[in-house]
Amino acid sequence: MRYGYIGSMKVKPGYRAEVVAILVAGADGLRKAGCDLYVVTESATDEDTVWVSEVWQSKEHHDASLQLPEARASIAKVMPLLTGEFTRQETRVAGGLGI
């Protein structure tokens, strides 16, 4: 069964567009790393929250992707723009549209 990850991050006021741009720009190599779905969204009710939804071939693929040079570079760019408030949920993906 595929591995799912849904997380939110609080962004320092005024930096949401920059964080979203960095996260979206880093998506190119994810398919090769075993990612089937990567979606970055802005909260419609909170100007300082960004959500990321991911579907991976396995948890191991997800974990390995965090060691890729481009992923590490994106994380390094984003971290100073965040407040440190995160939520996360790991899931087992049963199916659906787009995957």
φ and ψ at residue 77, rounded to 5 degrees: -70, -40
Neighbours of 72 (CB within 10 A): 12
Q: What is the pLDDT of residues 4-22, one digit of tens each?
A: 999 999 999 999 999 999 9
In-domain check, residue 98: no
Question: Residue 23 is part of which domain span?
Answer: 3-92
Q: Is residue 76 part of a domain?
A: yes
pTM (predicted TM-score): 0.92
Look up the CATH number of the domain holding residue 52.
Answer: 3.30.70.100
Judge whether residue 28 has pLDDT over 90.
no
What is the number of structural domains in the chain?
1
- Burial of residue 63 (number of CB atoms within 10 Å: 0-12, 13-18, 19+): exposed
29-65 residue pLDDT tens: 899 999 999 999 999 999 999 999 999 999 999 999 9
Q: Token pair for residue 20?
A: 């979203």
Is 12 part of a structural domain of the chain? yes
Decide if 87 is inside a domain. Answer: yes
